[in-house]
Structure 1
């Protein structure tokens, strides 16, 4: 019940087809996607080998506080 659990309570799960189209170029040959979640505009992508955090910036080019 830590911080990560609290954050994921407000996240929505993404369809794997969408994630594969956008991130297939960063996978190794033996790696595969497991789950992906979107929290506001940022993404948490879980593969069978690692966790990929995607910090998307807003229109201003600055990270939101």
Structure 2
């Protein structure tokens, strides 16, 4: 069911060991993965030091952007739930020094609240 959820744009909790292996070249000494969520091909990874957003681009997904956000640089964030006609839920993360928020869209509200709760625990 998690593959179906991922294809539908719903974030699913990702396997920590697989994510640790995938991000091994990025993680610092002593950095541990707390929670991670897979959204189709992209990842939202919470470590004990930062938030890592992984954006796999292109048809093959070989081009990858790794965006590292120290928790102290996140000034605020918001969750917008899906409506009757607008079926997408959205998470916006505002970072100091950046004019526009980082936005991630979800097809359902369910997983967005888990991500928001984890973000709250690490930022606030």
Structure 1 length normalisation: TM-score? 0.70
Q: Which has the larger radius of gyration?
A: 2
The 10-residue stretch of structure 1 (32-41 or 47-56) with the greater mean CA deviation from structure 2: 32-41
Distance in 1, Cα, partners of 2:31 & 2:58: 30
Aligned residue in 2 for 1:48: 48
Distance in 1, Cα, partners of 2:30 & 2:53: 20
Corresponding residue pairs, total: 52
1:20-31 alignment, distance < 5 Å = 20-31=20-31
The Cα of 1:60 is off from its aligned counterpart by: 6.8
More relative contact order in 1 or in 2 (CA 8 Å, sep 6+)?
A: 1
SS where residue 37 of structure 1 aligns? strand
Unaligned segments of structure 2, at least 5 residues: 1-9, 62-124
The Cα of 1:59 is off from its aligned counterpart by: 1.2
Q: Give the aligned CA root-mean-square deviation in angstroms.
A: 1.6
Distance in 1, Cα, partners of 2:28 & 2:42: 22
Distance in 1, Cα, partners of 2:54 & 2:60: 17
Aligned residue in 2 for 1:59: 59
Aligned residue in 1 for 2:90: none
